[in-house]
Chains A and B, each alone.
Chain A
Amino acid sequence: QKEVEQDPGPLSVPEGAIVSLNCTYSNSAFQYFMWYRQYSRKGPELLMYTYSSGNKEDGRFTAQVDKSSKYISLFIRDSQPSDSATYLCAMSRGSYIPTFGRGTSLIVHP
């Protein structure tokens, strides 16, 4: 079992839908949780960062961390075709060496 599990998708949704992307993990020492967005043929870009548990909101994006369930989520409200990308979760335990999920491919169709 990998330390971080992420469904590769693809996840296909209509424009305007609420998108939920998720990762589960097994290492209870993880404290830092990140979401990256990667467009085709580009490098990953940091989207959201959360330390420990709780929620964080930035515009249409909300990141949630549930450490008791070892589960993190990224919600995208009012999804747009420009949100079509691969979303990678990442987490770290204070070692500066994050563990990445394999990424979920999201397609938002008009």
Chain B
Amino acid sequence: DAGITQSPRHKVTETGTPVTLRCHQTENHRYMYWYRQDPGHGLRLIHYSYGVKDTDKGEVSDGYSVSRSKTEDFLLTLESATSSQTSVYFCAISEGREDQETQYFGPGTRLLVL
């Protein structure tokens, strides 16, 4: 399972509150990603990181911020949650090998914004 954990696994929150999701990896991989998955849209990239303190935006980054202060942790923050951010959030890692670009996913976090 590539040693990826996500916390919390489930969360219910109210509109306007801040929410932070955590992704933790144990194998020192360089690349980490946050996706959201919604019916009809598939997996959409929110933000990704290519090293400590090195992050960039993905396809659907509005309303989200990220931080990576340690190799093993990648945090996703919803500054002020909205109902449109109700989704399943997946963290992923990539080994960053030159000859291989496969990703490995965490178990997901189900977020409900009321």
Q: Which residues of A contact B (CB under 8 A)?
A: 32, 34, 36, 41-46, 49, 51, 88, 90, 92, 94, 96-98, 100-103
Contacts and interface: CB of A to CB of B under 8 A. Distances in A.
A46 B102 contact: yes
Interface in B58-114: 58, 90, 94, 96, 99-108
Interface residues of B, number: 22
Given A43-B90, A44-B90, A96-B31, A34 B102 contact: yes
B45 interface: yes
B100 A49 contact: yes
Contact of A96 (B94, B105, B108): B94
Contact of B101 (A32, A41, A88, A102): A32
A34 B29 CA distance: 19
